[in-house]
Amino acid sequence: MKAADAADVGLLVTVCQVAAVYCRLLLTFYIADGGQVAKG
């Protein structure tokens, strides 16, 4: 049971890290674009 919980936590942490990197990339591109995406 504990092993499964540890695996679930590890997976959750990995997903969060990937999501954080993805959001950072989106934000970086948005800033580099000068906010043109928001203006359409």
Reported as a single tens digit per residue, the pLDDT across 4-28 is 788 899 999 999 999 999 999 999 9
pTM here is 0.58
Candidates 38, 21, 19; CA nearest to 30 is 38
Domain that holds residue 12: 2-39
Supply 38's token pair: 């928001």
- Give every CB contact of residue 26 below 8 A, 6+ residues apart in sequence: none
Which value, in Å, is the radius of gyration of the alpha carbons in the chain?
16
pLDDT at 23: 94
In the numeric block, the tokens 């092993």 are attached to: 3
- Give the total number of structural domains in the chain: 1
pLDDT band at 33, cuts 50/70/90? confident
